[in-house]
Structure 1
Amino acid sequence: MTDVKELVLTIVRPLVSHPDKVSLDVVESDRFMEYNLSVDPSDIGRIIGKQGRVIKAIRTLVYNVRTKEPKKVRLNILEEGAQS
């Protein structure tokens, strides 16, 4: 779990203008390990990229990391205020 979290943070922080506002929360359900990424609203476009290419590349890397749990990994981008 921490390997995937560190991987996402290592990839995302250099891409954004406000790396101090990057946070990643992990939510575990029956079938998934969901990683909820929250960034500054002005940085969402940098994470998504043109036609979603950047987030697609990040997800490709994250989804192919082997984990100890038999659960699938999901990476979500949360808009500001969506965190609980």
Structure 2
Amino acid sequence: MRKLIEYVAQSLVDDPSAVQVREIRNDRNAVVLELHVAQEDFGKVIGRQGRVAKAMRTLMRAVGTREGRHTALEIV
């Protein structure tokens, strides 16, 4: 799941080397991913009216459902 979000984010931004994804586990069934990007690429990851961010969260939810986990994505 982390690699999927990292791949999508690196494909969207101008500076792919600045993309970092950190995984935080709240309990055994919950996973929170923190996505860090360069300041100038922040808008590209969010998208217009949050559409890109919403799409990435939908992907995470689909993968999480298959694995039986609750997932969340935070863009920092």
Q: TM-score, normalised by structure 1?
A: 0.81
Return 9-18 or 27-36, whichever deviates more. 27-36
Between the two proteins, the alignment pairs up a number of residues equal to 73
Deviant stretches of 4+, over 3 Å: none
Whole-angstrom distance in 1 between the partners of 2:69 and 2:58: 16
Q: Deviations over 1:21-77 (max 9, x none)?
A: 00000011125211000000111100000000110011111111022xx43011101
Unmatched 5+ stretches in structure 1: 79-84
Question: Residue 44 of structure 1 corresponds to which residue in structure 2?
Answer: 42
Matched, 1:5 2:2: yes
One-letter amino acid of the counterpart of residue 24, structure 2: V
Q: Give secondary structure in 1 for the equivalent of 2:14.
A: coil
- Aligned-residue sequence identity (percent) comes to 34
CA RMSD after TM alignment: 1.1
Q: TM-score, normalised by structure 2?
A: 0.89
